[in-house]
Amino acid sequence: MTLPHGLTQRPLTLVDAAAVTAIMAAEELRNTGEVAIEEADVVADWQRPSFDIASRTVGVLDGDRLVGYAELSGRDRAHAAVDPTHHGRGIGTFLARWLQDRALRLGSTEVGMPVPQGSPGDRLLTALGFHVRWTSWVLTLPAGRVLTPQPLPAGYTLREATAADYREVWTVVEDAFLEWARRERHPFEDFAAQVMGRPGFEPWNVRVAVGPDGEVVGAVVVFLAGETGYVDKVAVREDRRGLGLARALLTDAFSHARAHGASRSELSTDSRTGALGLYEKVGMEVTSVWLNRAIAVPTDAHTPAR
């Protein structure tokens, strides 16, 4: 697992978040025609108490310039990017192998990452033997799309979450996501770092559906990224589904994002959730397709990756 001649590697630190964001943005622009990543996204993920930046990241440098990076953000969940001006130098292959080695050391049996369908990263991972675990879609609510208010059942209300609600929000979100995600429960402290501790967080970013009993039964997390309102999370408690709460929360989130300057809204979902139809029903359209590609981790640390 060696780098091409003239390149070096080192662990990353929080100071590198801006440079990593720039690389990811350059790849997004090249692959999808637009940029969605923000430095706040990287900082929010890396500042999680459970995430050790030094042992879970690697940067590839050409001189003093960062030209590629990878991170093992979860037990089997990774991200990587290479500056498009440095494609074809073997950096992506090095990063894929580094991730397999790091996953092995942490006891994982598989490691995977999202790549735009048909992109250079998708083709590289295919050549390296990565298979498709699931398909993801980025959906957009176009600018000017009419928002039809969604009725709520009697006794239910939507409002801005307060600090006293945040643990209930975390519980609703984690319970819902763990119905299909193959992972351990994320601790509240990680949720707090990614949401309330995200740079630029404002109280309106978390909205809740409250039942007649006063309990939080649904929640949505929406951030403003430039002129885009990005819905990061939406969930409804299992025993309150089928009441139209998810559609009401989404429409409410879109409306508040517009009120704070967004001209359009976005979110992503994948084939594990079965929620694609819900988002299309509220007027969203698929704008890009991503594949989560994964590979089994070699059982011998010295076994070369394909």
- Dump pLDDT digits (tens) for 102-128: 999 989 999 999 999 999 999 999 999
Q: Which pLDDT belongs to residue 298?
A: 81
Residue 239, H or E segment: none
Summarize the confidence of residues 179-202 as an average pLDDT.
95
Q: What is the pLDDT of residues 204-263, one digit of tens each?
A: 999 999 999 999 999 999 999 999 999 999 999 999 999 999 999 999 999 999 999 999
Summarize the confidence of residues 169-181 as an average pLDDT.
96
Q: Which two tokens stand for residue 239?
A: 């025993």
Listing DSSP states for 103-136 in one string gives HHHTT-SEEEEEEETTSHHHHHHHHTT-EEEEEE
CA distance 246 to 235: 7
Summarize the confidence of residues 130-145 as an average pLDDT.
96
CB-CB contact of 76 with 30 (8 Å): no
CB-CB contact of 298 with 100 (8 Å): yes
Q: What is the pLDDT of residues 5-42, one digit of tens each?
A: 899 999 999 999 999 999 999 999 999 999 999 999 99
Q: Which pLDDT belongs to residue 267?
A: 97
Report whether pLDDT(304) > 50: no
Q: Which pLDDT belongs to residue 300?
A: 61
Residue 189: CB partners within 8 Å, gap ≥ 6? 48, 49, 50
Report whether pLDDT(171) > 80: yes
Q: Which pLDDT belongs to residue 148?
A: 87
CB-CB contact of 133 with 292 (8 Å): yes
CA distance 88 to 224: 35
Summarize the confidence of residues 166-191 as an average pLDDT.
95
Q: Which pLDDT belongs to residue 269?
A: 97
Residue 103: CB partners within 8 Å, gap ≥ 6? 72, 75, 76, 78, 110, 111, 297
Q: In angstroms, how far is CA 289 from the centroid of its own chain?
A: 14
Report whether pLDDT(183) > 90: no
Nearest to 199 by CA among 60, 17, 4, 8: 17
Q: Which residue has the tokens 């609510």?
A: 141
Greatest distance between any 2 Cα atoms in the chain: 67
Q: Which pLDDT belongs to residue 305?
A: 36
Q: What is the pLDDT of residues 67-97, one digit of tens each?
A: 999 999 998 999 999 999 999 999 999 999 9
Check: pTM over 0.85? Answer yes or no: yes
Report whether pLDDT(57) > 70: yes
Summarize the confidence of residues 153-172 as an average pLDDT.
98
Q: Which pLDDT belongs to residue 263?
A: 95
CB atoms inside a 10 Å sphere around CB 179: 10
